[in-house]
Amino acid sequence: MRPALNYALHPYWPVRLGFRKALKFVNPQAADLLEKTDGLALSTPRARISLLRECRDVLQRKVPGEFVEFGVHRGGTAAILATAIIGKSNRRLHLFDRWGDLPEPTEEDGFRKEAYARANRMDRIALLHDSLDSTKYAVEVLASLPAERVTYYQGWFNDTIGQYPGKPIAFASIDTDYYESTVPALELCERYASRGATFFIDDFGAWPGAERATREFIARTKRKVHLSPTPTGQAVVAFLD
44 is a domain residue: yes
21 is a domain residue: no
Average pLDDT over residues 51-57: 94
**The whole model's pTM is what?**
0.86
Residues 164-197 pLDDT 10s = 999 999 999 999 989 999 999 999 999 999 999 9
Total domains, the chain = 1
Confidence of residue 19 (pLDDT cuts 50, 70, 90): low
CB atoms inside a 10 Å sphere around CB 153: 20
Do 139 and 40 meet the contact criterion of CB atoms below 8 Å apart? no
Least confident span in 30-34, 80-84, 170-174: 30-34
25 is a domain residue: no
Can you give the residue range of the structural domain that contains 138? 40-239
Average pLDDT, the chain: 86
Do 84 and 59 meet the contact criterion of CB atoms below 8 Å apart? yes
2 is a domain residue: no
Q: What is the pLDDT, as a whole number, of residue 196?
A: 98
CATH code of the domain covering residue 71: 3.40.50.150
**Has residue 108 got a pLDDT over 70?**
yes
220 is a domain residue: yes
